[in-house]
Amino acid sequence: MTLIRNLMMLTLGLSISACAAVDVPSRNAPFEPLPNGQLQVPPGYQAQQPTGPLLQPSNVIPVVAVDALGAVDALGSATPVRVTSVLVRVPRVLQVSEANRYLPRGDIVWREDPLGDRHVQVQTIVQAAMERGVAGLNGRVPVALDIKITRFHALTEKARYTTGGVHAISFEMAVKHPDTGALLMPVRKVRADFKAFGGQQALVAMASGQTQKVRITNHLAAVIQQELTNAEGYKDANVDFAQMLNNM
């Protein structure tokens, strides 16, 4: 027992001496004034005393925000890119539905043009919309735009003249180098759904020239412009229940 007690006392003594040797963290140390010699500012770093209120001078140039595509001025008057070409693709694997139902199955639902090649008709609409949307971009970085449609749902006749619904339009956007074709940013999946008029609202809109084609063209032009000029891209409108049904 004496041997064990002595070993325990020796271990305890070593532990106490070891703990005593540990430095106290600086965050717990009391404030101590530094020697005068350490308070001297090196030559050339002396701060000038302000002569007036601490306000930002009017001639200071604002900081310019820069993203992966180029520079955007502080007021947002310039856009980062200049689109040199737009390619819109509507893959033939997208299924066309001609069923006159409220929610037809298929990837493409379009009725406002005469019965024909719906893939070509959709490509024509989206091409015109994208070209309009990028026409005013005047940034320093030239890019080529590659758009692949993944869904294009306008309204059937039945929905158009009764309940209305949602123009459910989705696409993938690739921004490429115009010469090499290299991607300048990751491919973005854009969901550009918005409300579709029905019943009396649709009749009034058509009477004023606001057909489905006109509204979709204007909407997509605004969407692509936001995608290329807004850091957060286009924010999909919340069309609630009708949108959920379209995605089933």
> For 181-191, what is each residue's pLDDT tens digit?
999 999 999 99
Work out the average pLDDT over 64-86. 57
pLDDT for residue 33: 43
Q: Which residues lie below 8 Å from residue 121, measured CB to CB, with a gap of 6+?
A: 110, 113
Q: Which two three-digit tokens encode residue 57?
A: 């001078």
100 within 8 A of 156, measured Cβ to Cβ: yes
Work out the average pLDDT over 54-82. 44
Over the chain, what is the mean pLDDT?
Answer: 76
| Residue bearing the bigger pLDDT, 240 or 94 | 94
d(Cα 79, Cα 227) in Å, to the nearest integer? 11
pLDDT for residue 248: 43
Fold for domain 67-246? Rossmann fold (3.40.50)
* Predicted TM-score (pTM) of this structure: 0.66
- Count CB-CB contacts under 10 A for residue 198: 20
- Percent share of the chain, pLDDT over 90: 60
- Percent share of the chain, pLDDT over 70: 63
Strands 141-153 and 108-109: parallel
Residue 133 has pLDDT above 60, yes or no: yes
